[in-house]
Structure 1
């Protein structure tokens, strides 16, 4: 399709965000100016939105040609909401302006009322949640809690919502990761005498989906994302769980991969590709005759191998997001990232979705010493490398990878469902923003007789975590004497 849009808009991503004019000012700008305006949030990278003229002038004078200023102060920041249509239904990537903090009518897990609970959220795409009676109130989008400015905005948001909703929490729920600012903030409240409840990241994901679908009892959960600290001290993100509001059991997972350099590997997908290949090929990786290996500095490659051999700064992960990163780099699509999920988005965009379902790669399934099923991607990796050597187009390989991942996850969920007799399954985690994965998995699970429940009123990513935390805390509060 021919358009007048610049080619560097949304590169390596087939999706564009469209915003209809919602103020008279927008209409005036479009009436007197160009037919299309490219607009983005007014914030420095990693910081919250600028809300006063002086800050905006200081932040953007080097890139903006003109400023439209106003003498009316902005009282409180509110980022734009982002939605998309998946399987004919509106779903949130970000629930913010225009929707938050409108209440969510949530079925309480044990009583006809929810206590006043604060869910502190996670570390990325942060929101907070306050509950009262039968309602949950999710905040507008706050962002990634790394900079001091966003941390201050996080604290301001909690105080602002407590004030406007007249809710003072009697219990605080938080993520298990001790390094998250949200967890550290919860600990401060705990020191003031407010009871604290730690909730595992993927359990919270699952409960958020249960809550918005008004589910109770025990369900299966397929939770696929990038990062979440597990109860074994490793980083999870490719899990099949059995869940109630009070607890969960991990029944299947992706095989662990090392993350050479820890968080550095999140920003450098090529490191995850090295980890994936080294797990399968061992020292033979140095002699693999594929473009990815040839593109690497052999000194850096040897250093990463040494790190993994000695287990130095190489936390283990079962993250689906990191697996996407690895394959994206392996196919020479994305070696480094400048924003969250960039490698996975580019991999989906590259996939040739005309591929037949008969072309999935093979994978393994084994049982760990703890009885948890382990999904082994080793056979798939060998077949991907063979395809690369044969010169198969990367679009075909990317499509086969998507299909393989979907079949592997559905196969694990089906095995757990057969063992437990459970036929209700909730899908949560940021990987389900991938429309290919979402569509394939929901269709396959439905074909196997599962009743599939998905997100529509809260984001499937970390923007919904706070709701799940609050629901876990509510259930555990009710069981206390």
Structure 2
């Protein structure tokens, strides 16, 4: 409730009701001491939920006798001692610029006209400027800016919308813009104009945003986008595009324009005229609306879509510190648009998409993190869930609440690990949180696992299987409390048998699971090399499948690949050299993309499966499914996909196009999975199915499975507030570890 104008809201309501008393922050809670008639007090309590600010999240209201009769009048008073909050309510998320502040920003008669740091109690920086809790100006990055008399009057006026707006400032007393390009510098409006001119001329600008630096260029200029890709070492992964507005239906617009201002994956036709290299080969573009006054001003000057992407080189943490940005982004940006307000915490932009009629997060960061989530079982001991490796997040859990840290990128090197440690330490310090237990993935080579082993002895660690964490994340955020079936489809994760999994059907609770079904296995020739090169994964399926493919026409793939590579890979598979086997849905989709010629080499994680989905969306008519078979092996239901790929190759040889075959692959996986879940439900009596894992971000699979499972009489659930990909793993780990601790397991 802090940082969203809740105390000023309480003041207004209490004054309307002629109540006496005070309101203050205490630790992570808001404490109201009030005196008045019984009717007026009851109306105040009712208004705390019904009329709360839009960004407020009122979880619980406790009412008891006040320690003394309040003095006449009602006041907002200084925050009390921090103590140890019961949950994580004290750290508010950043909020996009509200309509009232926007009107001031573009009103020539207003004293904040074109001031890029305008804000009020309804908007502005929050989590990214906090030094300590409770959330008050003296404990933020604004402490170094002394309010001028006009701002101070607003801040202390209960009738003003800036009453106790902690980042309040104006051109006289607040942060100022600066521009640096070579030896040229500028300040204020001239800095903004210089940055706009640089972008208009096709150059790349490093802009200091809310949660760190961003790289900005003209999204309609092919040369500028190509130059950004080359300098950032990001050959094909799509860029996000910021626009002034977008012609979308009201439901999507409500998400785009929400205070979180996420990037929303939308049809490319919504924003025509972009350079093809913005999202090469894709049918969707990640669009978002400006989230700060600075972004509004820049778009107002340029009047064109802008690429706005993380201020880093590929796979590095976002630059936050000014000196660090000047060094690390010097080879990328042509100029720097900065300011003198420090950034206290690294937050990337959030990403979501619409699936099954609802917004579902792909990346949980600015605007959503660090809002806490409920746990299905309260943890008796504070715990930290260290997450996985890709799309890394961590989670702090205390009592019945879990705080999922912001997206930190792939945990691939020492810099990324240091950023994880720093962010976890900062959130821990703010919340007076000290983990007594650490939950971690089973994979010994994950840096998150290494961190857990270094940070805690074995007696204070809980290992959590990767796919159990996936489905538990879905179950937990949907509030399940009984057994559930879990479909965990992703790239790779270590199973509890020491083998690589990725296409799993589980019977699960929060304390344990049993594997019921899986995909057939195939080798990954070269291990990680097969992940980066789907053509090699396809060879693994051709020459090393658990259920061998019958003889048939020579795949077109073999005519595309160099003969020495084919021969080498085949020998590796036959001899079992560096070719671990995996039962992976993600790698199966990669192989299909390779066989269809859609992606031989992946430019980013998941590209092959994404291009397979794009091709399927372009198909016309209803797809004709491919043959599939479920067999029984070692007590498990197993998808034998040999017939599926055999038919795909035959239909390809007969001239059927890649788009129709891509659609057929998706339809086949959906039909097979629904049948597999129906068998699992009949076997166990459990009819609720939690769908999670990176493959469930595929709209065709997610939408087809939810519809198919419901038609089969089963309840289908998807992730919503945490990503289905590995960004949700830490929340699932926390839910599992909390339940195990509560039951003494």
TM-score, normalised relative to structure 1? 0.95
How far the C-alpha of 1:164 sits from its partner, in A, is: 1.2
Number of the residue aligned with 1:306: 571
Number of the residue aligned with 2:663: 399
Number of the residue aligned with 2:338: 69
From 349, 353, 369, give the equivalent of 1:84: 353
The CA distance in 2 between the partners of 1:311 and 1:153, in whole Å, is: 38
How far the C-alpha of 1:478 sits from its partner, in A, is: 2.1
> Using CA pairs below 8 Å that are at least 6 residues apart, which structure has the higher relative contact order?
1
From 3, 16, 34, give the equivalent of 2:303: 34
How far the C-alpha of 1:188 sits from its partner, in A, is: 1.1
From 367, 371, 376, give the equivalent of 1:107: 376
From 430, 434, 442, give the equivalent of 1:176: 442
Please tell me whether residue 190 in structure 1 is matched to residue 456 in structure 2: yes
Partner SS, residue 354 of structure 1: coil
The CA distance in 2 between the partners of 1:328 and 1:306, in whole Å, is: 23
Partner SS, residue 158 of structure 1: helix
How far the C-alpha of 1:115 sits from its partner, in A, is: 2.8
Number of the residue aligned with 1:56: 325
8 Å Cα contact 2:521/2:581 also seen in 1: yes
Residue deviations 1:52-81 (CA, integer Å, cap 9, x gap) = 333333333444333212233322211111
8 Å Cα contact 1:205/1:223 also seen in 2: yes
The CA distance in 1 between the partners of 2:673 and 2:609, in whole Å, is: 17
Please tell me whether residue 240 in structure 1 is matched to residue 513 in structure 2: no
From 444, 453, 459, give the equivalent of 2:708: 444
Partner SS, residue 38 of structure 1: strand
8 Å Cα contact 1:114/1:131 also seen in 2: no
Please tell me whether residue 454 in structure 1 is matched to residue 723 in structure 2: no
How far the C-alpha of 1:5 sits from its partner, in A, is: 0.9
Q: Do the aligned partners of residues 54 and 376 (structure 1) sit closer, same or farther apart at CA in structure 2, a change above 3 Å counting?
A: same
Partner SS, residue 69 of structure 1: strand
From 395, 407, 412, give the equivalent of 1:146: 412
Please tell me whether residue 260 in structure 1 is matched to residue 525 in structure 2: yes
Partner SS, residue 362 of structure 1: coil
Q: Show structure 2 runs of 5+ residues with no match.
A: 1-268
Partner SS, residue 360 of structure 2: strand
Number of the residue aligned with 1:155: 421
The alignment yields a C-alpha RMSD, in angstroms, of: 1.8
The CA distance in 2 between the partners of 1:182 and 1:419, in whole Å, is: 36
8 Å Cα contact 1:170/1:194 also seen in 2: no
8 Å Cα contact 2:542/2:549 also seen in 1: no
Partner SS, residue 39 of structure 1: strand
Partner SS, residue 440 of structure 2: strand
The CA distance in 2 between the partners of 1:206 and 1:7, in whole Å, is: 37
From 250, 254, 268, give the equivalent of 2:515: 250
How far the C-alpha of 1:322 sits from its partner, in A, is: 0.6
Residue deviations 1:80-131 (CA, integer Å, cap 9, x gap) = 11111112211100111111111112231xxx65531111101111111111
How far the C-alpha of 1:243 sits from its partner, in A, is: 0.1
Please tell me whether residue 348 in structure 1 is matched to residue 617 in structure 2: no
Residue deviations 1:424-471 (CA, integer Å, cap 9, x gap) = 111110101100111101100000011111111111111111111111
From 386, 389, 395, give the equivalent of 1:123: 389
The CA distance in 1 between the partners of 2:437 and 2:324, in whole Å, is: 36
How far the C-alpha of 1:323 sits from its partner, in A, is: 0.7
Partner SS, residue 540 of structure 2: helix
Aligned pair count? 474
The CA distance in 2 between the partners of 1:215 and 1:353, in whole Å, is: 37
Please tell me whether residue 289 in structure 1 is matched to residue 558 in structure 2: no
Partner SS, residue 202 of structure 1: helix
TM-score, normalised relative to structure 2? 0.62
Number of the residue aligned with 1:207: 472
**Structure that is richer in strand per residue:** 2
The CA distance in 2 between the partners of 1:234 and 1:265, in whole Å, is: 16
From 687, 692, 696, give the equivalent of 1:432: 696
Partner SS, residue 405 of structure 1: helix
8 Å Cα contact 1:355/1:400 also seen in 2: no
Q: Do the aligned partners of residues 113 and 155 (structure 1) sit closer, same or farther apart at CA in structure 2, a change above 3 Å counting?
A: closer
How far the C-alpha of 1:290 sits from its partner, in A, is: 3.4
Residue deviations 1:389-446 (CA, integer Å, cap 9, x gap) = 1111100000000100111111111111111111111111010110011110110000
Please tell me whether residue 226 in structure 1 is matched to residue 495 in structure 2: no
Partner SS, residue 343 of structure 2: coil
Structure with bigger gyration radius:
2
8 Å Cα contact 1:355/1:399 also seen in 2: no
The CA distance in 2 between the partners of 1:105 and 1:52, in whole Å, is: 33
Q: Do the aligned partners of residues 464 and 382 (structure 1) sit closer, same or farther apart at CA in structure 2, a change above 3 Å counting?
A: same
**Misfit runs of 4+, over 4 Å:** 280-285
How far the C-alpha of 1:283 sits from its partner, in A, is: 10
8 Å Cα contact 2:501/2:584 also seen in 1: yes
The CA distance in 2 between the partners of 1:353 and 1:205, in whole Å, is: 31
Partner SS, residue 729 of structure 2: helix
How far the C-alpha of 1:288 sits from its partner, in A, is: 4.8
Please tell me whether residue 364 in structure 1 is matched to residue 633 in structure 2: no
The CA distance in 1 between the partners of 2:381 and 2:354, in whole Å, is: 34
How far the C-alpha of 1:353 sits from its partner, in A, is: 4.3
Residue deviations 1:328-347 (CA, integer Å, cap 9, x gap) = 11111101112111111111
Number of the residue aligned with 1:45: 314
